[in-house]
């Protein structure tokens, strides 16, 4: 990956290719063409050739705008995540982070390929930093350190991304886990009586559909407890 070129693509104001004929494409159009392909076929199905064909240009013409697939995926991620929505009026830090995480979950659910695109170190774009800014701003004045504020963002992103990945696969994590355990326990209930009772209760409560709500509430409870310890008594 050409990190210098990627930085320019994400943070600069390039108007088009560096050389050659007058530009006929925009980076936004290229990114959205890539998103359409990745949404349908994943990153494995994304190629520069397919993007070029969808835009009715040659692959060599596309390379004049974007030097390779890695840079293309970075542009796609920046476009797919977009600017974070503004915080709800009057919401406290907990309400803001609850809404933030649900919005993040929605982005990852709509674009399953984004999970793989965000697990390795990379140059973040302005939209990605805007999402991080929202978390840090919500926690300003709570007593958490700057490092802790950013760690909260990482924790919430992980929760949203993990659940969205399972959602894209068609199974909530708890549902898949409980179905597998129920199969293993069949005929062995006497050996694992407490687990058998818990699984029956979970099935009756449809707990598998509440993974986002339950996990998010517990994460925010933990953050609330930490904030409480930082406030003078």
Residues of the chain by 3-state class (helix, strand, coil), percent to 5: 70, 0, 30
- Confidence band of 206 (pLDDT split at 50, 70, 90): low
- Tens digits of residue pLDDT in 16-30: 455 555 668 999 999
Residue 125 DSSP code? -
Does 176 have pLDDT greater than 80? no
Burial string for 125-134 (b: 16+ CB within 10 Å, else e) reads bebbeebbeb
Q: Rounded to whole angstroms, what are the CA distances from 16 to 13, 23, 29, 56?
A: 9, 6, 12, 17
Does 190 have pLDDT greater than 70? yes
Sequence ranges of the chain with CATH classification 1.10.357.10: 93-230
- Tens digits of residue pLDDT in 115-159: 999 887 888 999 999 999 999 999 999 999 999 999 999 999 999
Q: How far apart are CA 101 and CA 223, in angstroms?
A: 14
Tell which CATH architecture fits domain 93-230: Orthogonal Bundle (1.10)
Closest CA to 33 of 3, 11, 7, 66: 66
pLDDT for the residue 3: 80
pLDDT for the residue 186: 85
pLDDT for the residue 63: 93
Q: How far apart are CA 137 and CA 114, in angstroms?
A: 25
- Tens digits of residue pLDDT in 62-116: 999 999 999 999 999 999 999 999 988 899 999 999 999 999 999 999 999 999 9
pLDDT for the residue 201: 78
Residue 186 DSSP code? T
Tell me which CATH homologous superfamily contains domain 3-81: Homeodomain-like (1.10.10.60)
- Confidence band of 174 (pLDDT split at 50, 70, 90): low
Q: How far apart are CA 17 and CA 22, in angstroms?
A: 8
- Confidence band of 208 (pLDDT split at 50, 70, 90): very low
CA 208 to chain centre: 21
Q: How far apart are CA 146 and CA 223, in angstroms?
A: 14
Percent of the chain with pLDDT over 70: 87
Q: Give residues with Cβ within 8 angstroms of 179, minimum separation 6.
A: none
Sequence ranges of the chain with CATH classification 1.10.10.60: 3-81
CA 201 to chain centre: 31
Burial string for 91-115 (b: 16+ CB within 10 Å, else e) reads eebbebbbbbbebbbebbbebbbbb
Closest CA to 94 of 233, 216, 197, 229: 216
Q: How far apart are CA 59 and CA 64, in angstroms?
A: 9
pLDDT for the residue 209: 47
Q: How far apart are CA 123 and CA 77, in angstroms?
A: 11
Q: Rounded to whole angstroms, what are the CA distances from 192 to 174, 183, 199, 209?
A: 19, 13, 11, 24
Q: What is the mean pLDDT of residues 33-48?
A: 97
- Confidence band of 2 (pLDDT split at 50, 70, 90): confident
């Amino acid at each position: 990956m050409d990190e210098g070129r990627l930085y320019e693509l994400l943070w600069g104001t390039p108007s088009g290719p560096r050389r050659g004929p007058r530009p006929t494409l925009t980076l936004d159009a290229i990114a959205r063409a890539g998103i359409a392909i990745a949404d349908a076929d994943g990153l494995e199905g994304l190629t520069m050739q397919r993007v070029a064909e969808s835009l009715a240009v040659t692959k060599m013409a596309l390379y004049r705008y974007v030097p390779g697939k890695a840079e293309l995926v970075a542009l796609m991620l920046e476009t797919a995540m977009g600017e974070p929505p503004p915080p709800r009026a009057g919401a406290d830090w907990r309400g803001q982070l609850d809404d933030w995480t649900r919005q993040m979950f929605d982005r990852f659910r709509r674009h399953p390929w984004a999970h793989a695109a965000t697990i390795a170190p990379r140059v973040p774009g302005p939209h990605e930093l805007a999402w991080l800014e929202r978390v840090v701003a919500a926690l300003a004045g709570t007593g958490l350190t700057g490092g802790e504020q950013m760690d909260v963002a990482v924790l919430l992103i992980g929760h949203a991304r993990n659940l969205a990945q399972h959602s894209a696969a068609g199974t909530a994590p708890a549902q898949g886990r409980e179905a597998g355990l129920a199969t293993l326990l069949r005929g062995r209930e006497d050996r694992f009586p407490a687990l058998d009772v818990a699984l029956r209760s979970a099935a009756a409560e449809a707990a598998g559909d509440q993974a986002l709500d339950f996990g998010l509430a517990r994460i925010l409870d933990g953050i609330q407890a930490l904030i409480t310890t930082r406030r003078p008594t």
